[in-house]
Chains A and B, each alone.
Chain A
Amino acid sequence: MPKCIIDGREVEFTPGQNLIEVAKSAGIVIPGFCYHPGLSVVAQCRMCAVEIEKMPKLQTACSTAATEGMVVKTRSERVKDAQKSVMEFLLINHPLDCPICDKAGECDLQDRSFDYGSPYQRYAEERRTFEDVDMGPVIKKNMNRCIHCTRCIRFGDEIAGIREMVAIHRGNSTEITTLTGLPLETEYAGNYADICPTGSLTLKDFRFKKRVWFLKKVPTICEGCSRGCSLELHQSDNVIYRCVARENLEVNKYWICDEGRFNFHYVQAPERLTEPAARQGGSLQSAEWSVAVAKAKATIVDKKVTVLVGSDLTQEEALLLKELAPKHFPGAAMFHFGTPGITAGQHDAPADKILKRTSKTSNLHGLEQLGFEGLVTLPRGTEAVVVFRGGRATLPDLGGLATVGVGVFTAAEAEAFQAVLPGLTFTEKSGTIVNFEGREQQLKRVILPLGQAKPLAEILTMWANVGAAAVVARAGAKV
């Protein structure tokens, strides 16, 4: 491997790598704003200037490829001076509104200004000001904070495949906007907030909800479709506040779609049933666990049962069901369900040119590996159905059959059910899911279970422990 020298240290690199990346591999930080590893290089902000021996002027590290024997200085007096000047220049028009800016605490501009800038400001003229603009349902723009790094423009162009952000006017009057002033169209708009190095583009969904330094960050996997993008869920006091993309070069690079980003909301939605419930006097009512389990068992006893397993369950849960089903539901047929029209792994296809897949559940391919078959129609003669569901799989039409729901349902979905035994969503459990390429990935628990929701293993144990005969008698007496 060729070597170059950065700050007196010999660093190996692969030909073609730029100096920011090479330095990073050696633990040396070269600050930059416009450079993003997932986007093209424009060398616009000039923050990454470094001194290279035998070159008369400072060079931008993001646009300079390392070469054999190159001697680079990142902290020389000349470089420090340049960094200070660039910082001052970028901050000329930037308002000092960190107290109200949602980016504060994770803002590149704030951090760099602290590390490389000057604590004094010489600029006394009036700053340019813009009105805040709503850019559709996802993003709010505050143009005053923008530093014209053009990351957002390049993201639209190169990743989202839609040139919707442009820079109009030039120089001091440059404004970043959509071409027509219309709202953003892309279904990946949340990434604009992730990549913007300032608080110019922020998520409306997260606006003023929490300061970022209060959040605990848990790396996990998205359950939005069969791609399984890497996510980070941010939690505080057992409440999830937001979801951002996590770098995973092999699956989703640096991006996630909006559907996945905002999917977590159902976890803490008031409509979600987190208490066990049993049908009493014609309507579903909250009940003790024992009563609900008894009701569930009474519903299926002596009936021809079909077990439906949502392809939004983890491998561990599916395997558990596969092993225990013959004991708990003797003679029952078992199918997976998830997305209407997608009953087998081969139906799952890319839904766009970026990340999304047509299977709207995460573990379709995992369940196929375990030998589950997809539900096409319920077997003839089915009298009762037990549905296991992680929260995202689309419920099939059950045609008014007596149904027991185990897992995550909203009150509306479970309206006609005989009993509901509340289970865990993808944020409340750990486990393995398999994406469309067969890659096994790990879900991590982000928050503690809400309400009385319990892990599937516990529910099944309870199911086994309540004696069937006693159950029928008790359920009969209570209902």
Chain B
Amino acid sequence: MLVEPKTSLLQRLYVIEIAKGMMITMKNFFFGKKVTIQYPEQRRTYSDRYRGMHYIKVTDGVENCTACMLCPTVCPAECIHIEAGEREGKEKYPVTFEIDVLRCCFCGMCEEACPKDAIKLSTIYEMSQPVREVYDKEFLLEQRGNK
């Protein structure tokens, strides 16, 4: 059953109540702390643990990845596709390494599963594209993070 609140006549007139409300709004408008920023001129810094655009770590000019396929195994979005191969000086390496980034949910499980400290999620968050983007190996090998 709906309970009718007991209100006095003054309250029922609203005028005073509206004025009270406007006081609060105005106080915040002129004297309050701003929560928005002027993007893209201004940018926020995120925590180092932020999970953004992927990259594959390179040590001494060689990709860390050995194509063990643990990241495609664990990836809940099934968006990582790797083909393994062999080359001089590296027994197993990824010939192709693709991330269908539109499907990625940025859970970071790939990073966690990787035994070779290879796949990383950087702090870059500007990834919107006019076309469906698939990151290929060349793109992923760009070192764009400090993890």
Contact = CB atoms under 8 A, between A and B. Distances in A.
A258 B133 CA distance: 43
A207 B66 CA distance: 14
A202 to B, nearest CB: 12
Contact of B91 (A98, A100, A211, A214): A100
B73 A208 contact: no
B73 A100 contact: no
B86 A208 contact: yes
A125 to B, nearest CB: 23
Contact of B68 (A100, A207, A214): A100
Contacts of A213: 73
A207 B85 CA distance: 9
B16 interface: no
Nearest to A213: B73
B69 interface: yes
Contacts of B86: 207-208
A99 B70 contact: yes
Interface in A205-231: 207-209, 211, 213-214
A235 B69 CA distance: 17
Given A99-B115, A100-B92, A213-B73, A208 B85 contact: yes
Contacts, number: 27
B84 interface: yes
Given A99-B116, A100-B91, A100-B92, A211 B66 contact: no
Contacts of A208: 67, 84-86, 92
B91 to A, nearest CB: 6
Contacts of B92: 99-100, 208
A213 B70 CA distance: 10
Interface residues of A, number: 11
Contacts of B115: 99
Interface in B64-111: 66-70, 73, 84-86, 91-92
Nearest to A99: B68
A99 B115 CA distance: 8
A48 to B, nearest CB: 30
A213 B115 CA distance: 17
Interface string B4-26: 00000000000000000000000
A209 to B, nearest CB: 8
Interface in A119-154: 132
A132 B115 CA distance: 23
Contacts of A104: 68
B116 A211 contact: no
Nearest to A96: B115
B85 A211 contact: no
A209 B92 CA distance: 11
Contacts of B85: 208
B145 to A, nearest CB: 22
Contacts of B84: 208-209
B69 A100 contact: no
A199 to B, nearest CB: 12
Interface in B40-75: 66-70, 73
Nearest to A208: B84
A208 to B, nearest CB: 4
A342 to B, nearest CB: 41
Contacts of A214: 69, 73
Contacts of A100: 66-68, 91-92
A224 B73 CA distance: 34
A211 B67 CA distance: 10
A207 B83 CA distance: 12
A207 B84 CA distance: 9
Question: Which 4 pairs from chain A and chain B are nearest by CB?
Answer: A99-B68, A208-B84, A100-B92, A211-B69
Given A100-B67, A211-B73, 7 more contacts: A99-B68, A99-B92, A100-B68, A100-B92, A132-B91, A208-B92, A211-B69
Interface of A: 98-100, 104, 132, 207-209, 211, 213-214
27 contacts: A98-B68, A99-B66, A99-B68, A99-B70, A99-B92, A99-B115, A99-B116, A100-B66, A100-B67, A100-B68, A100-B91, A100-B92, A104-B68, A132-B91, A207-B86, A208-B67, A208-B84, A208-B85, A208-B86, A208-B92, A209-B84, A211-B68, A211-B69, A211-B73, A213-B73, A214-B69, A214-B73
Interface of B: 66-70, 73, 84-86, 91-92, 115-116
